[in-house]
């Protein structure tokens, strides 16, 4: 067995000192059920959030817009995942059904306006570093094409140089997307706003309660606790 890790590069911490995160391993995803009722329980909070203010006025989203601007991106062209979900929900009043875990996490993300990533551990080589891209990383689109993130763009990168996200919290790679064959998932929620710690406390509690016995190792990521590490078999399965 080899250790699997998640960490943010020092350059990310230096540029974003308010960064806080939660990482949770979800086990036995193939046996996951009961998330529909849980996400329906979150719906009232999502409805209240979209009724109260626009996405741009939410402090959680505004902080991500600032981070995207710092990467040289137009915040209205590239939106963090939670903003994109909220805008879609506001327009359609519901979300498409994709996968029990992903559907639930989408509602968690919207309820807290915090981006939540879900990655198939078996499709990630060795571990993940969240860092500025060098420009040589390989990103797989959902259309089957290959891209190289721009140098300086923050991405999730594994030990073989695969980029598992573009523009930090904008879009995930098709390489590690959760499917009906996924057994174990790494969930990462990252926040940059002033009350990030308090909101992540509530988000973590929701994940632990909502996923119950499926929750494996977890960690709150702060400037004083930056490395999340756990054991994974050579095939990517957790032990």
Q: How far, in Å, CA of 137 to CA of 193, rounded?
A: 29
Find out whether 114 and 176 touch, Cβ atoms under 8 Å.
Answer: no
Tens of pLDDT along 149-170?
999 999 999 999 999 999 999 9
Tens of pLDDT along 115-162? 999 999 999 999 999 999 999 999 999 998 999 999 999 999 999 999
CA distance 218 to 220: 7
Confidence (pLDDT) at 234? 47
Which tokens sit at 114?
Answer: 């915090």
Average pLDDT, the chain: 94
**Domains identified in the chain and CATH numbers:** 2-232 (3.50.40.10)
- As beta bridge partners, residue 23 has 188, 219
pTM, rounded to two decimals = 0.94
Q: What is the pLDDT of residues 4-63, one digit of tens each?
A: 999 999 999 999 999 999 999 999 999 888 788 899 899 999 999 999 999 999 999 999
Q: What is the crossing angle of helices 100-112 and 196-211, to 10°?
A: 150
Q: How confident is the model at residue 2 (pLDDT cuts 50, 70, 90)?
A: confident
d(CA 121, CA 183): 8
């Amino acid at each position: 067995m080899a250790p699997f890790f998640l960490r943010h590069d020092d350059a990310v911490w230096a540029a974003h000192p308010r960064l806080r995160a939660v990482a949770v391993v979800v086990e036995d995803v193939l046996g996951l059920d009961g998330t529909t009722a849980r996400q329906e329980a979150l719906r009232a909070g999502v409805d209240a959030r979209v009724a109260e203010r626009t996405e741009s006025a939410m402090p959680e989203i505004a902080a991500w817009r600032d981070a995207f601007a710092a990467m040289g991106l137009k915040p209205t062209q590239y939106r963090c995942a939670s903003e994109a979900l909220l805008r879609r929900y506001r327009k359609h009043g519901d979300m498409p059904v994709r996968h029990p875990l992903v559907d639930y996490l989408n509602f968690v993300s919207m309820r807290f306006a915090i981006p939540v990533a879900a990655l198939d551990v078996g499709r990630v080589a060795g571990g993940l570093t969240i860092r500025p891209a060098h420009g040589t990383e390989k990103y797989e689109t959902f259309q089957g094409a290959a891209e190289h993130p721009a140098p300086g763009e923050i991405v999730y990168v594994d030990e073989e140089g695969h980029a598992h996200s573009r523009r930090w919290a904008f879009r995930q790679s098709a390489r590690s997307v959760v499917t009906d064959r996924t057994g174990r998932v790494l969930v990462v929620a990252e926040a940059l706003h002033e009350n990030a710690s308090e909101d992540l406390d509530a988000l973590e509690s929701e994940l632990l309660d909502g996923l119950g016995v499926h929750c494996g190792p977890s960690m709150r990521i702060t400037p004083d606790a930056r490395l999340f590490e756990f054991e994974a078999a050579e095939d990517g399965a957790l032990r």
